Structure 1
Amino acid sequence: MSMVGLRMRGALVTTIYRKTLTVSETVLNSAFSVGEIVNFMSTDTDRIVNSCPSFHALWSIPFQLVVTLYLLYSQVGLAFLSGIAFSIILIPVNKVIANKIGKLSTKLMQEKDARVKMLTEVLRGIKAIKLYVWEQHFLRLITKLRDKELKYLKGRKYLDALCVYFWATTPVLISILTFGTYVLMGNKLTAATVFTGIALLNMLISPLNAFPWVLNGLTEAWVSIKRIQRLLDLEDLDLDLYYNESLLESSQNADIIIKHGIFHWGKELTSEEKSRLHAAQMRRLSKGKGKGKKTIVHLEHNVGEDHHLFVLSDINFTVKKGEFVGVIGSVGCGKSSLLSAILAELSIPEGEIAVSQVESGFGFATQQPWLQRGTVRDNILFGKTFEDNRYKAVLFACGLAEDIYLLPAGDLTGVGEGGMTLSGGQKARVALARAVYQDKAVYLLDDILSAVDVKVAKHIFQHCIMGLLKNKTKILCTHHVNYLVHADKIVLMEGGVIKQQGKPADVLTNIDDILPIELELGESTQSSLSSLLDSVKLDSTMEEESDSVLLQEVSETGTVELSVYGTYWKAIGHALSFIIFLAITVMQTSRNMTDWWLSRWVTNADPSGNTSQFYDDELNEGHFYAGDPEILPTSYYMKIYIELVCLNTVFTLLRAFLFAYGGIVAASKIHKLLLKSVLKLTFKGKSTFFDISPIGRILNRFSTDTYTIDDSLPFILNILLAQFFGLLGKVFSI
C-alpha cells in the first residue's frame, strides 16, 4: 500500500500542477486562491493518500465482524442477537456523526485555505513587514484565521471522540447484553462459555475501534477529492477556440491581428481602479471628440453590464512581422492587459484575435519578474542548452556583464526564492535575459525599463531591443516614450481603449505637452560581436553546493529524540497530560475489573442454578449479604456487572474527550510557537533565513506538517496508547 500511496501522491500532484498550467489565469484566479492550490497539493493530497489503508479495512473489518459474530452464535445461540441489535442501532447514529464530520471538514479546509493564503502573502513580503515592524499586526491576523480553523477542528475532534466512544464501549455493552440475554433465556453461564465469549468479544474491539477512524478517514478523503475535483472541472484553455487563424490568411505578413476585440479579466475593479477609470472617461467626454465620445458610451455600456469589470473595448490592432510597436498610456489604462489578451490570459466575449506560430510560444518579460530558486545561469537557460557565445551575447545585451563580474560565484551564484538575493533591477534583467535566450519570434516586453536606471535602460534598448531582437516582432509597454522614436508604430491607450495609433511622429506630437520626449539616444545602436564576448566574465570554478542559498533542507535521521516528545507533552500541558494518562489508566482498570467480576460470577455460580428467596429479599432491600459467596444469587452478580460496565463507559467517554481536547490544545500552541518563530525570526536574528529558505519549504511547515499535528499525530498516538494500555491490562490480569 505504501507504493500505491506514493504513486497516488505523484499522480495527484502532477495532475494538479498540469491543470494549473492548462487553465486560463483569469478562470483560475477567479475560482481559487493561492492558499487553496497549495492545500490541494499538500493537505488534500495527504488525506487521500492516507486513506489508502482504509480501503482494505473497509472490507476486512465487516468480514472480521461476520466471522466473530458467527462464532459467538455457536457459543451462546440466539442470545447474540441482542448485541447485534445494539450495533444496528448505532449505525444511523454514526451516519449522522459522519455527515456532520464531513460538513465540518469542508468548512475546516476553507479556513485552512484562507490561513495558508495569508501566510503566502506574508512570506512573499516578509522583508517589508519586518522593515515596517508589522509583525504583531500580521500575527494577530493569522491568529484570528487560525482560531476560526480551530473552531471547526474542535467540533470535528469532539465528534470523533463521540464516535470513538460509541465503538469503544460497544464490545462491553454487547457482552452484557449477550450474557444477560443468555441467562434470562434460562441458560447457565459456564466457564467455557464465558471465557470463549469474552475472547470473541475482545476480537471485536480492534475492528470496532478502527471502524470510526476508517469512516472518518474516508470521509475526509472524499471531501478532499471533491475539493480537487472542483479544480479539475475547470475548463481548459483551448487555443484553437481563442485564436482565429483564418484572420492571418488575408495578411500573410502579420504576426498579430485583433479585430473588434473585447477582453476582460472576469473580476471586479477595485475602488481605486473604478475612480481612475471614471476620471479617464470624464476627461474624454469633456473633450467631445467624435471617436472618443462614441467609445466612451460603448465602454460604459459594457462596464455596466459586467458589474464594473475592467474591459478592453473595441480593440483593433495589427502587428506585422519584425515590427517594433510601443504601447503607452497612463497607469491602469490597460497596457499590461493588452499583452495578457495576446497571451490568451483574458476572456474574449466578442471580437477575434490571431497570432502566427502560436505553438512556438512568446518571449515574455513581465512587469514583476519571477525567478526560481537556483543559480543565475539556471534562471537564464531555463532548460535550454547552454551555448557559450549566445549566452554571453544575451548577458551583455541585457546589461548583466558587470553584475556577473561582481557576483561572488559569477553566473553560478545562487538566487533565492523569487530572486530575493538580487536587487529589483537585477531581477528584471535576469528575467529579460531568460526571455531573450529562448529565441522566440514574438516578444512582449512589459515595462522592462522601469526597474533600471537611465544608463542601463539605454544600454538594454540599444543592445537588446534594437540589437539582438532587431529582427524580431516586439511590443514594448513603457512610460519612457523617448525610446519609442525608433518604433515602427505607437499605440496610445486610455481607459481600456486604443485612443490613437500610428507612426511615432503622428502620435507623440499630440501628447507633447504631457509627455516630453528626447529624439536622440546619444549612443550608437551598433555593437561588435567581439565587444560582447570580451565584456562578459564568467566564473565556472565554484560549485553550486558551496552556495548557502542553494543548501538543501537538513532532515534528522534515526531515533526521534526525547526532546521532541517533551515538546508535545509541554504543548498539551503537564497537568492535562497527566489527567489524560490517568483517565486512560482508570478506563483500562475498570475494563479489567469488569472482566474479573465476570470470571468471579462464573466461578462462584450456584451449580444447581437455584437461588434463595431470602437472598433476593436481602438484595432488594440493599443489605449486604455476608454469607458464602458461592451461593449468591445471579441478580447480585448481574447488578455489580452492570455497574462496572456503566463505570467503564463513563471513563471511556472521559478519556475520549480529554484526548481530543489535549490534541486541540497542542495543535494551537505549536502553531503559535511556529508562527512567532517565523515572524519574530528567532533564527539567531538573521533575516537571511528568508533568502536561503524557499517559501514552499516554510509553507509546508504551516500546511502539511500542521495537518500532521492537528490530525495524524493524535490519531496515531490514540491508537498507540489504547493498544499499550490494553496490553498492560492483559498482562496484569493474568
Structure 2
Amino acid sequence: MGLSLTTSKVFASMTVFDILRNSIALIAQWLNKLMNGKVSLDRIDGFLKKTELLDAFDEKEVPVLFSAGLEDEEKIGFRNATFSWSKQPDGSLTRSRQFMLKIDGEVLFKRSRINLVVGPTGSGKSSLLMALLGEMHWIPASPDSWYNLPRESGIAYAAQESWVLNETIRDNIIFDTPFDEERYKKVLYQCAVEPHLALFQAGDQTEVGEKGLTLSGGQKARLTLARAIYSKAAILLLDDVLAALDVHTAQWIIDRCFGGDLVENRTIILVTHNVTLARPIADFIVRLGSDGRLAPTAKYGSLSTQIPKEEQIQDKSDQKLDTAAHITKPADGKLILAEEMQLGHVSASAVKMYLLSLSANHPVFFFTFLFGGLLFNQSSNALMTWMLGYWASQYEDRSVEDVNPIVAIALTCCTSLAVMFTFLLLGQLRASNVIHYTLIDSVLLTNDIRAVDDSLPYLIWPLATLTTSMLVRFAAVVFYTPIFFFPGALAAAIGACIGQIYIAGQLPVKRFMSNARAPVLSQSSIGHCQLTTYPVSIRAFGAQSKFTIESIAKIDRYTRAARNYYNLNRLECWHVGSSS
C-alpha cells in the first residue's frame, strides 16, 4: 500500500491475527457440536409434535366416554366401538401393524367375577385390554357408542411381557402399596413365589437385575402376577399370565390364587390360551375372532370346538428355565455394587497403556520423531517472530525494495506442522483400535470408547503443541533475558500446584457424574416408548407421579455433579487467565 512498516505495527498485527486465528479455530471446533445439537433438538421437536397422544391426553380430542346409552358408570365393557393403534384411516401404526379391534353390540364384563378373554393367536386379546386401559384410539361406531373402565377403586395390570423393576423381589411385589406382612406372605404362597425364594441366598431381598436378568420367564411372570394380586385394586387385568408357567404351577395359580381369598370381590379379566385349565373358575367368557372382531358371548361347549388345538395345550417353557436361575449370588442379594471411585490422578498404568498404543512397537522412534518435529516447529515459529522484528527494523536503514519477505521460514513451519499432525493422527487411530479391541475382549464400554476416539485426540494435540511452545518461548526469553528465569520458574511452580489441586477436585466429580448418568438413561428408557410394557403398566397402576419423582431425583443427582464439574472447569480457566 506504499506505507512504511515498523516493528510496532508488525507485532500489533500479529496479536490481532492470533486472536482472529483462535476465534476461527473455535468456530470450526464448535460447528460440529452445533450441528449435533441441531439434529438432537430436531428429533426431540419431532417426537413432541408428531407423536400421536392417547385420547385422554390429546386436547384436540373430545372423548365422550359416557353417553346416554351408559346408565351405570360402574359398568366394565364396550358398545359399538372400534379401536385402532393409530389415527390413520386404516388404523395402522406402521405398514406391518394394520389392526383394528371391532366390538359389535354390547359386551359387559361381570363385576366381582372372573372373566375370560379367549381367541386364536393374533386375534387381538391383548388389544382388548389395551382398549379398556385407553391405550388405543377409540372410534365410535354409532351414536350410542361407549367404552368404560372405572378407575376410582384402582386398576392393576399384569402384562404378557413380564415387567419387573431393577429392585429387590419384595420391592417389585409391593410396588407402590404399603407393606402388609400378612398379605405379603399370602401373595407369596398363592402366586407360587415362595418356593423359588429358597433358590436365592438373600430371599426376597435379592435384586432381580435389569429387566429381571436373574429370573426365568416363569419367575418373572409370577412376580408380575404377585404385584397385581398384592395391590388393593378392585379390577385386575391379566394378560396371559399362565403362558410362561409349567402345568403344575399353572394349576397351583388357578386353585390357590384365583380360588383364594385375595381375589374375593375383585373383578378379574384374564386373557388366556389355556381355556381347559381356566374354564372351571370362569363366570363369563368372550371370544375374539381372527379378524379382530368380538363375537357374542358363547358357552364353553361351543368355544372348545372353535378354539385351535394349540391354544388348549399348556405352555411348559418354564420347566427348564426355573432351574437355570439357581446360581450363586451374593448373600446380601446385591447384584450391582457401588462403583469404587479412585481419588487423585488417572492411574499411571492407564496413561502408559494409551501412550504405548500410540507408538505401537516402536515407542522410541515415535516419540522422538513426534516431539522432535514439534520442537522444530515451535523453534521455527519463534525464529519467525524474531525475523519479523528484524525484518521490520530494516525499513529504518534500507529501502522497501531491499527487504525480502521470509517466505521460507513460514513454509517450513507449515510443512512441519502438517507432518506432525498427520503423524500424531495416525498414532491416535492406532491407539483407538488397540484399546477398542482390548475392551471388546471383556465388555464394550461405550463412553470409554467415545473418550478414546473423541476427547483424547482433541486434548493430546493441544497439550503437545502448547507444552513445546511454552518451553521454546521460555528458553528464548531466558536466552536474551536470563533474569526472567526465576519469575518464570515461580509462575510454572504456582501453575503446577493449581493444576494438582484442580485434578484432585475435578476427577472424583467427573467419575461421580459418569456414575450418575447411567440411572438417568435407564429411567428415561422406561417411559419413552408409548407401546412398550413399561409405560402401559405405569399408567395402568396410576404410578406416573411415583416415576416422575424418581426421574427428577436421578436427574437432580446428575445435574448437581455436572454443575460442579463445569464450575471447577471455569474456575481453573479463571486461574489460568489471571496468572497469565
Give the alignment's TM-score, normalised by structure 2: 0.67
Structure 1 residue 333 displacement after superposition: 2.6
Do the aligned partners of 2:77 and 2:148 also contact (CA within 8 Å) in 1?
yes
Structure 1 residue 510 displacement after superposition: 3.8
Alignment match of 2:403 (pick from 626, 634, 637)? 634
- Which residue does 1:718 correspond to in 2? 461
- Which residue does 2:66 correspond to in 1? 246
1:497 to 2:300 alignment: no
CA distance in 1, matches of 2:101, 2:14: 80
- Which residue does 1:325 correspond to in 2? 115
Counterpart residue type for residue 470 of structure 1:
E
- Which residue does 1:564 correspond to in 2? 350
CA distance in 2, matches of 1:312, 1:567: 59
Alignment match of 2:190 (pick from 397, 421, 436)? 397
> What does residue range 290-301 of structure 1 map to in structure 2 within 5 Å?
none
SS at match of 1:466: coil
> What does residue range 162-561 of structure 1 map to in structure 2 within 5 Å?
185-190=2-7, 192-233=8-49, 234-239=51-56, 241=61, 244-247=64-67, 249-264=70-85, 309-316=97-104, 317-348=107-138, 351=141, 354-358=147-151, 362-467=155-260, 468-482=262-276, 483-498=278-293, 500-505=295-300, 507-511=302-306, 514=309, 546-561=332-347
Q: Summarize deviations over 1:359-404 as a string: whole Å, max 9, x none.
A: 7763111222122222111111223321212212221221112223
Do the aligned partners of 2:77 and 2:108 also contact (CA within 8 Å) in 1?
yes
Structure 1 residue 188 displacement after superposition: 4.2
Structure 1 residue 712 displacement after superposition: 2.7
Counterpart residue type for residue 481 of structure 1:
V
**Alignment length, in residue pairs?**
446
Structure 1 residue 429 displacement after superposition: 0.7
Do the aligned partners of 1:329 and 1:493 also contact (CA within 8 Å) in 2?
yes
Structure 1 residue 254 displacement after superposition: 1.1
SS at match of 1:474: strand
Counterpart residue type for residue 246 of structure 1:
F
CA distance in 2, matches of 1:502, 1:444: 19
Report % sequence identity.
Answer: 28
Counterpart residue type for residue 670 of structure 1:
I
SS at match of 1:677: coil
CA distance in 1, matches of 2:407, 2:377: 15
CA distance in 2, matches of 1:237, 1:209: 48
Counterpart residue type for residue 257 of structure 1:
F
CA distance in 1, matches of 2:228, 2:275: 22
SS at match of 1:249: coil
> What does residue range 12-31 of structure 1 map to in structure 2 within 5 Å?
none
CA distance in 1, matches of 2:172, 2:227: 7
CA distance in 1, matches of 2:428, 2:111: 65
Counterpart residue type for residue 508 of structure 1:
L
Q: Against the structure 1 CA distance between its residues 245 and 727, is the aligned structure 2 distance closer, same or farther, given a 3 Å change threshold?
A: same
SS at match of 1:494: coil
Structure 1 residue 332 displacement after superposition: 2.5
Do the aligned partners of 1:255 and 1:473 also contact (CA within 8 Å) in 2?
no
SS at match of 2:258: helix
Q: Summarize deviations over 1:286-308 as a string: whole Å, max 9, x none.
A: xxxxxxxxxxxxxxx96999856
Structure 2: stretches of 5+ with no match in the other structure: 314-328, 478-580
Structure 1 residue 413 displacement after superposition: 1.8
SS at match of 2:471: helix
Q: Against the structure 1 CA distance between its residues 219 and 457, is the aligned structure 2 distance closer, same or farther, given a 3 Å change threshold?
A: same
Point out the structure with the larger helix share.
1
Counterpart residue type for residue 289 of structure 2:
E
SS at match of 1:569: helix
Q: Summarize deviations over 1:638-663 as a string: whole Å, max 9, x none.
A: 1xx12222332333344445555544
Give the alignment's TM-score, normalised by structure 1: 0.54
Do the aligned partners of 2:70 and 2:146 also contact (CA within 8 Å) in 1?
no
Q: Summarize deviations over 1:673-722 as a string: whole Å, max 9, x none.
A: 333423xxxxxxxxxxxxxxxxxxx7xx32x4433333233223333333
Q: Against the structure 1 CA distance between its residues 451 and 644, is the aligned structure 2 distance closer, same or farther, given a 3 Å change threshold?
A: same
CA distance in 1, matches of 2:43, 2:312: 54
1:591 to 2:366 alignment: no
Do the aligned partners of 1:259 and 1:353 also contact (CA within 8 Å) in 2?
yes
Q: Against the structure 1 CA distance between its residues 347 and 406, is the aligned structure 2 distance closer, same or farther, given a 3 Å change threshold?
A: same
CA distance in 2, matches of 1:506, 1:475: 20
Counterpart residue type for residue 472 of structure 1:
R
- Which residue does 2:476 correspond to in 1? 733
- Which residue does 1:608 correspond to in 2? 397
Structure 1 residue 484 displacement after superposition: 1.9
Q: Against the structure 1 CA distance between its residues 569 and 500, is the aligned structure 2 distance closer, same or farther, given a 3 Å change threshold?
A: same
Structure 1 residue 196 displacement after superposition: 4.6
SS at match of 2:236: strand
Do the aligned partners of 2:119 and 2:307 also contact (CA within 8 Å) in 1?
no
Structure 1 residue 430 displacement after superposition: 1.0
Do the aligned partners of 1:489 and 1:503 also contact (CA within 8 Å) in 2?
no
Structure 1 residue 433 displacement after superposition: 1.0
Counterpart residue type for residue 707 of structure 1:
R
Do the aligned partners of 2:116 and 2:269 also contact (CA within 8 Å) in 1?
yes
Structure 1 residue 634 displacement after superposition: 0.6
Structure 1 residue 221 displacement after superposition: 2.3
Q: Against the structure 1 CA distance between its residues 404 and 672, is the aligned structure 2 distance closer, same or farther, given a 3 Å change threshold?
A: same
SS at match of 1:553: coil
CA distance in 2, matches of 1:386, 1:516: 37
Q: Summarize deviations over 1:153-182 as a string: whole Å, max 9, x none.
A: xxxxxxxxxxxxxxxxxxxxxxxxxxxxxx
